Amino acid sequence: MPAPPSEEARLARLVRAHDRWRGRSVFNLLASENAVSPTARQYLGSDLAGRYTLPMHETIDGELVDNSYAGTRYTDEIESLANAAATRVFRARYATTRPLSGHIAAMSALVPLLPARARILAIPPTEGGYDGYAAGFLPSVLGYTVRPLPADGPGHSVRADSAVATIRQERPNAVVLGQSFFLFPYPLREIAEAAHAVDALVFYDASHVLGLVAGGAFQDPLREGADVVYGSTHKSFPGPQGGLLFTDREDLFRQLDPALVWRVFDNAHWNRIAALGQTLLELERTGREYAATVVENAQGIARALHDLGVPLVAESEGFTRSHQVHLDRTHLKATFGVGGAGLCRRLERQRLLIDLVGRIGTAEVARLGLTPADMPRLADLLVRGGLRREKVGPEVLAWRKQFPALRFA
């Protein structure tokens, strides 16, 4: 039965209200989100949103065909254009923009390349690792055994000596480097050398730092020894929700790319791939300045918060080299009587969005046009709104209105 029109009107109101609220009325400091450029948004809403395409070279009823669908004369070229842009932006020999998300990109890399019952090393969630690599999640779905790779340096950074010792002792099939709490580059050369010496592959989950890798502001995983790099395209990378994957190794890509369809997903989402292609092309022009601004903003807001007495992790290391800054929640609670969840809710009422686990991300505010010079004011609003419980919402809204358009788009 069709939904009554009143429900449609309600839905339309909700979407409009969401767009007003998240798109125009708050400063978003969620480390896992970003704002999509106007052209990319237009492509998300294009006719591509409902289409299939499946390039193939097979004989059907005696005729050689190059696609199992009809009407695909533009989709295949859109995909090759997006993939080619990805290879240029990440200086990779091979790339695919098909993975539907960061999590699916992880499956896309692991499923075709690892044996059944593989043994992997991954950073535990208690040390900033991605929950998906914990025993009950991807490893149990894929039948792998996961052992901890320690991230026991400041701010859950990975120390070369303990990582190398663990790899030598465990002799895994793969080392999966991936953190949701991600402040500092991995000692990748040392890890890759140790992993390759025991015939293990190195997978680099760049979900959080993909935009910084694209702009050369973090680390260069392929040049430093990673075999396959993948991640989400909507955290520090300012694209549509989705994933991508790249590698320099022809042997791995030949194994991997044809194995994705029907094992990890069927159709890819071509509107998303067009929007991702657009974002990659925009970053080819502006990515270096964008990524540098994001990291400088993170270091700037960390210093400003620290100067205002807010406890942060990894002070000895300069707080961060990524788009994230981490509140020291234990000291926060002891000093100010509020934890991550309480602070998040208080700030949300004042139009400032951070997450419940104490991460502050500077990617989206850089897209809005905020620079390091703006970080002391932003830190001051966070402290007044979150810790002193002042009503800073109107001031935040007035300031937010000064940034109506996206930069780097």
Name which of 293, 357, 349, 299 is nearest 325 in CA terms. Answer: 299
β-bridge mates for residue 229, sequence order: 204, 246
CA atoms within a 13 Å half-sphere pointing along the CA-CB vector of 357: 10
Helix (H, G, I), strand (E, B) or coil at 384: helix
Q: Which of residues 163-192 bind ligand PLP (CB under 6 A)?
A: 178-180
386 sits near ligand PLP (criterion: CB under 6 A): no
Cα three-residue angle 53-59-65, rounded to 5 degrees: 40
Helix (H, G, I), strand (E, B) or coil at 186: coil
Nearest distance from residue 196's CB to ligand PLP, in Å?
23
97 sits near ligand PLP (criterion: CB under 6 A): no
Across 364-391, b (16+ Cβ under 10 Å) vs e yields bbbbbebebebbbebbebbbbbbbeeee
32 sits near ligand PLP (criterion: CB under 6 A): yes
Q: What is the dihedral of CA 253, 256, 257, 263, to 10 degrees?
A: 180
Nearest distance from residue 380's CB to ligand PLP, in Å?
29
Nearest distance from residue 128's CB to ligand PLP, in Å?
9
207 sits near ligand PLP (criterion: CB under 6 A): yes
Pick the closer one to ligand PLP by CB: 235 or 367.
235
Residue from the set 27, 43, 90, 130 that interacts with ligand PLP by CB under 6 A: 130
Residue from the set 75, 92, 102, 191 that interacts with ligand PLP by CB under 6 A: 102
101 sits near ligand PLP (criterion: CB under 6 A): yes
In the stretch 310-349, what mask flags binding to ligand PLP with x, by CB under 6 A? ----------------------------------------
Residue from the set 37, 157, 166, 232 that interacts with ligand PLP by CB under 6 A: 232
Cα 50 from Cα 46, distance rounded (Å): 9
Chain residues that interact with ligand PLP, rule: CB under 6 A: 32, 101-103, 130, 132, 178-180, 205, 207-208, 232, 243
